[in-house]
Amino acid sequence: MKPAIEAQLNRDNIVAFLGDIFARRGGEEYLGEGVTMAEHMLQAAFLAEQRGESDTIIVAALLHDIGHFVGEFGAFSMSDTHDRYHEQAGAQALQHCFPRVITDCVSLHVAAKRYLCAVDPNYFDKLSPASVHSLRLQGGAMNAAEVAEFSQRPHLQDALTVRLLDDAAKSPGLRTPDFAHYAPLIESIVSAHCGNA
């Protein structure tokens, strides 16, 4: 995360900043999947909304991959041979204006995939080829010590929920609301928590 970008984000401009990312870069390819980046993130939020998840889960699902756009090293591609740590870049960009539960869901959604691969024998088989490729770069399934540590995270269940929404949000042609639909919800969370996360 470039410090200059992070330092400039505050309650007055972060919603517009996020909306601009969706407008300008949302049409980019999503890691070899059949949906664009914006479609993927909007589908995750839409699925959360349809399932009656909390506002924080809806927003975390919407923003879980924002780090692909704000990270110093750019978006992941299927030709990558190393991890780009987009989850860390995303959490850094959001940390001053969103509550900890949301930034934890963003920062932990990659680790949640590794955790689920370790604890659920059926989970790996449900991953898309792109997710399998990124899993290899991200360290593969957790070992027993990592599982024990991760299971103690305070927002574990929320992070796992966002991870499963992430996995499900890859349906070509699924119609969802656009970013503007979620902007008031983001605004309300930012107004309540910016500077107090």
Q: Measuring CA to CA, how many Å separate 116 from each of 47, 48, 120?
A: 20, 19, 5
**Assigned domain for 197 exists:** no
87-108-157-115 Cα dihedral, nearest 10 degrees:
120
**Assigned domain for 75 exists:** yes
User: Which of 97, 98, 114, 195 shows the shortest CA–CA distance to 151?
Assistant: 114
Contact (Cβ atoms closer than 8 angstroms) between residue 45 and residue 65: no
d(CA 80, CA 163): 21
Q: Could you write out the DSSP letters of every residue in 108-136?
A: HHHHHHHHHHHH-TTTGGGS-HHHHHHHH
Query: What is the domain count for the chain?
Result: 1
**pTM of the predicted structure, to 2 decimals:** 0.88
**Assigned domain for 181 exists:** yes
pLDDT in tens, 170-189: 999 999 999 999 999 999 99
**Assigned domain for 36 exists:** yes
Domain of residue 164, CATH code: 1.10.3210.10
pLDDT in tens, 148-169: 999 999 999 999 999 999 999 9
